[in-house]
Amino acid sequence: MWSYVIKRLLATVPIFIGLSLIVFFIMSMIPGDPAQALLGAWATPENVARINQELGLNKPVWQQYLIWVNNMLHGDFGRSYVLNRPVIDEVTQRFSATLLLGGTALLLSTVLGLLAGIFSAVRQFGWGDRLITLLVLIGISLPSFWIGLLMIMLFAVQLPWFPASGMIEAWGGGGFTDIAHHLVMPAVTLSIVATGVIARLTRTAMLEVLRQDFIRTARAKGLSERKVIYRHAFRMALVSVIPVVGIQAGFVLGGAVYIETVFQWPGLGAMLVKAVSTRDLLLVQGGVLVAAAAYVLINLFTDVLQALLDPRLKS
């Protein structure tokens, strides 16, 4: 098992190299002078030259990339000129908020998706299956940001049950209950699409497993239907569903960008939107790289978990 984990870890090395290349060179190709955008009204030729010198923007692009990578390997992501603080501090603080939101949404979508998929497969063509299929189609068809706006109108304006924005109350907030109260609407909004995808694929995987010979054998031995479903069929179906959960983790991280903007959640997505608008290059590069690395590590974890459930994948 450890040899498989080491192989998967080594396979992520070229992925991280590719990610760093993509992140850096896409940002370097954005038209305009970053120093000019950073300085705004203070953009005199002397100030622009000074910023370009400090950021290393007056060097060839390949040298800028090597310097950037070398600094990151030493834990230095640079300094945000707009916020006047180290990039790693800002990214770490914002990523913790995004991790809370994305982790809650992913957990919610995984649990609800698995339960809905199992229920739908066991009662194939019944009213419950048809209802779940309809809800899944609606959920994966509607834009998440639009659902978020509807939830704000309904549950924050018409029925003031939840706060419309933010992570904590402005005065006297910050406790567990306060954060959980603010977390409900953005987490539910972010989880809807992923729940539909996981439910649909769980249903398909369960139906395929339930037609296998070993399921008929288990029933012939007199095992209860609950044991057949959850101990045998669900475990086999889970092998096919786990990679989908890993992929949905990436969509949840990507969806957090606009969900955090809608709900003013102080996470990585909201930070990236502001950093792009102000041309804060080092902050954008650091934030995107951390988000992409998190996605790669999540998929690595799901691959290892899948191998634990199905030893045939280790070979």
Domain co-membership, 126 together with 252: yes
How confident is the model at residue 283, as a pLDDT? 86
How many angstroms separate the most distant Cα atoms in the chain?
A: 84
Q: Are residues 21 and 77 in the same domain?
A: yes
152 and 264 assigned to the same domain: yes
Do 167 and 65 share a domain, yes or no?
A: no
- For residues 266 and 8, give the distance between their C-alpha atoms in angstroms, rounded to a whole number: 33
Is 82 found in the same domain as 98? no
Residue that terminates a domain, selected from 57, 86, 115: 86
User: Residue 310: what pLDDT?
Assistant: 65
Q: Are residues 170 and 34 in the same domain?
A: no
pLDDT, greater one: 98 or 311: 98
**Mean pLDDT within 25-34:** 70
> Tens of pLDDT along 235-288?
888 888 888 888 888 888 877 878 888 888 888 888 888 888 777 778 888 888
- The residue out of 61, 86, 111 marking a domain boundary is 86
Q: 213: domain CATH number?
A: 1.10.3720.10
The per-residue pLDDT for range 57-110, each reduced to its tens digit, is 777 777 878 888 888 888 888 778 778 788 888 888 888 888 899 889 999 999
- Residue 266 sits at φ, ψ, to 5 deg, of -80, 60
Domain residues for the domain of 15 are 2-86
Task: Show the tokens assigned to 21.
Answer: 């290349």
Domain shared by 186 and 148, yes or no = yes
Phi, psi (5° rounding) for residue 79? Answer: -130, 135
Within this chain, do residues 127 and 60 fall inside the same structural domain, yes or no?
no
- The band of 170, judged by pLDDT with boundaries at 50, 70 and 90, is low
What is the model's pLDDT at position 111? 92
Between 127-141 and 176-210, two packed helices, what is the crossing angle to 10 degrees?
120
Angle between helices 2-28 and 61-73 (to 10 degrees): 140
Q: What residues does 86 pair with on adjacent strands?
A: 79
Residues 190 and 172 in one domain: yes
| H-only helix segments in 142-175 | 144-152
Domain tally, the chain:
2
Predicted local distance difference test score (pLDDT) of residue 108: 92
Question: Pick from 233, 177, 171, 180: which is nearest to 208 by CA?
Answer: 233
pLDDT digits (tens, 9 = 90+) for 110-150: 999 999 998 988 888 888 889 988 988 888 888 888 888 89
Helix (H) or strand (E) holding 240: helix 234-263
Q: What is the pLDDT of residues 276-301, one digit of tens each?
A: 877 777 888 888 888 888 888 887 88
Asked whether residue 104 falls in the same domain as residue 241, the answer is yes
What 3-state DSSP class applies to 86? Answer: strand
Answer yes or no: do 64 and 186 share one domain.
no
